[in-house]
Structure 1
Amino acid sequence: MGEHKTHKKTVISRFKLSKTPMTKLEKNNMLWIYLFLFPSILVFVSFYLFPIITVVTTSFTTWDGINSPKWVGLSNYSWLFHNEAFIMSMKNLLFWSLLSAIPHVAFGVLIALILFKKPFGGNFVKSVFMIPNIISVAAWAIIYKFIFNNDFGILNRIIRIFNPGFKANWFFESPYAFWAVTLTWLFYGVIVTLIVLNDLNAIPREIGEAAKIDGASGWQVLRNIYLPLCRISIGTSIILAITSRVGMYEAIALTTRGGPGNDTMSLSLILVKLIMDMKYGSANVIGMVMLIIGIAILLLINKLFRMNESVY
């Protein structure tokens, strides 16, 4: 009973201490903190918060970007969800998201694990693996147009060694176009590799060595120690990979332009087309959809990978 009272007094005293007013020095420190935060807050409000509010409000209007917006309620949303190109773009986004989250990220993690072992020629592999990210997306798309060309593309030439009669206009025929666009990014996970490799290098070597001394195999150390300790970097990589697919534009616009039909249509292509047609209200509906998808992905991956919890 006495111990309970003592504990209760301790809790109360701590609560009272926490309610004590700030000293002059603490107030001065808080003033400097807010002063240094002010530029970042100003930039956020000007370039992020205000545009987001504009997107939300004008998505319920017809607006040409010049005249005042006119309220139309849910008409823009009704039009969008009955639009064939939008429905196809959402299906494509679903497939691309799955491909981004599983084989794309897995390949990047695999390369990171190999480089972590510091194999012979590892620095050369790292340099070569960086090349696609040094080249702009636009230039990379043009390169792939030549690689997948039916007449002189290297891919069809290799296939014709085994199948002389093979013909495929990869970017212009269904179902080849979807996979041609996908291959322009699927196996280039250098960002994933760098993020995960940095996390692997931060893990104390003593942990893996202790597990091996206890009899754990290399696979067991990888599965039960390294990968769990890298869950935050892997989760971050998945978020980056999927959101890149949400905003994917150049690779499609410079190859298939969303065709054939709507086989490779994306939200970004619809968004840009609506802007070019000066239909800003309808374009902002696409912006709202992309914003909601991005937030949903962030919340889902945070939950699945427990990214707010410490790994140690």
Structure 2
Amino acid sequence: MKKSKKVAVSKLEQKNYKWIYLFLLPSILIFLIFYLQPIITVFYTSLTKWDGFNKPVFIGFKNYITMFQNEAFQISLRNIILWSIIAATLHVGFGVLVAFILYQKPKGWKFTRAVFMVPNVISAAAWAMIYKFIFNDDMGILNNIIRKFNPDFHVQWFFSSPYAFWAVTITWLFYAVIVTLIVLNDLMAVPEELTEAAKVDGATGWQVITRIQLPLCRNAIGTGMICSITARVAMYEQIALTTAGGPGDDTMSLPIILVKSIQDMKYGYANANGVIMFILGLITLAVINKAFRMNESVY
């Protein structure tokens, strides 16, 4: 009797799955047409010499050899590693901290939420231009405040080494609304029975956060890290509109090299950079997936 019931349930689940596949079909088609085909094209043309107009000429791994020998590319990798570390720690950490503060709903939390959320709806390009004026040596608010205490202070933040790297970092460091929203959503899903039981057993507020809430939010924190690090790999507007990769190569990045290669009609070389960015994204996804055990259930 039990076996027959299990067979009936299994057939019912298979029947329901057919409808799921039907609803997934448009997404699958969109992925195949607008994502998979371009990805295959990028991988193939990265092995060619191509100006974007004439037929690509296969040259093997020459673009990759040239790219890895390029000093600007090596500096780009260094910058991406540093930005990724900052993103995974300070950027994500700040977003998680704000999420926990908002979850506690202290006095004025709604105003805090509005102040934190509103700047994040402004585009990265707009923020880059705003910060370009904030860090301006002559009329920027930052240097004018510093000169109140040190009249001889003069620094062109976006055009002087090593300040340019940190000036670009500041343009995105404290804008972690995506991380905050993802973590806050997970926090609100934590069963109250767990926290209440812990408090009954004598757990302090800090222990509830570190032993219950943080572990249960690991998937959200991992997702936030993936979003933050991959955004650093693909970061272009903040750099292009402030330093354009300089001074020297202080803020050089793979997207900057990619766009410059396209402007020089080196589409094969540009796509080789695109492949490296794609691989870095996959590595980030795999490492964080493994570190945070995101494929495992948290409950």
TM range (shorter): over 0.9
Write the distance in 2 (CA, Å) between the matches of 1:300 and 1:222.
25
Say how many residue pairs are matched: 296
What pairs up with 1:1-312 in 2 under 5 angstroms?
32-312=19-299
Partner amino acid, structure 2, of 1:100: A
Write the distance in 1 (CA, Å) between the matches of 2:98 and 2:287.
25
Q: Deviations over 1:128-149 (max 9, x none)?
A: 1112221111111111011001
Q: Which moved more, 1:56-65 or 1:240-249?
A: 56-65
Shift in Å, 1:279: 1.0
SS of 1:287's equivalent in the other structure is helix
Shift in Å, 1:33: 4.2
Shift in Å, 1:212: 1.1
Write the distance in 2 (CA, Å) between the matches of 1:28 and 1:198.
32
Write the distance in 1 (CA, Å) between the matches of 2:162 and 2:13.
65
Write the distance in 1 (CA, Å) between the matches of 2:133 and 2:23.
51
Partner amino acid, structure 2, of 1:219: W
Q: Deviations over 1:46-95 (max 9, x none)?
A: 11111111111111100111111101111101100011111111110000
Partner amino acid, structure 1, of 2:298: V
Q: Which runs of 5+ in 2 are unaligned?
A: none
Write the distance in 2 (CA, Å) between the matches of 1:220 and 1:291.
39
Shift in Å, 1:38: 2.4
Q: Which moved more, 1:171-180 or 1:151-160?
A: 151-160
Write the distance in 2 (CA, Å) between the matches of 1:128 and 1:26.
47
Q: Deviations over 1:192-219 (max 9, x none)?
A: 1111011101101121111111111111
Write the distance in 2 (CA, Å) between the matches of 1:127 and 1:36.
37
SS of 1:161's equivalent in the other structure is coil
Q: Which moved more, 1:131-140 or 1:295-304?
A: 131-140
Structure with greater Cα Rg: 1
SS of 1:171's equivalent in the other structure is helix
Q: TM-score, normalised by structure 2?
A: 0.94
SS of 1:152's equivalent in the other structure is coil
Q: TM-score, normalised by structure 1?
A: 0.90
What is aligned with 1:5? none
What is aligned with 1:7? none
Partner amino acid, structure 1, of 2:187: L
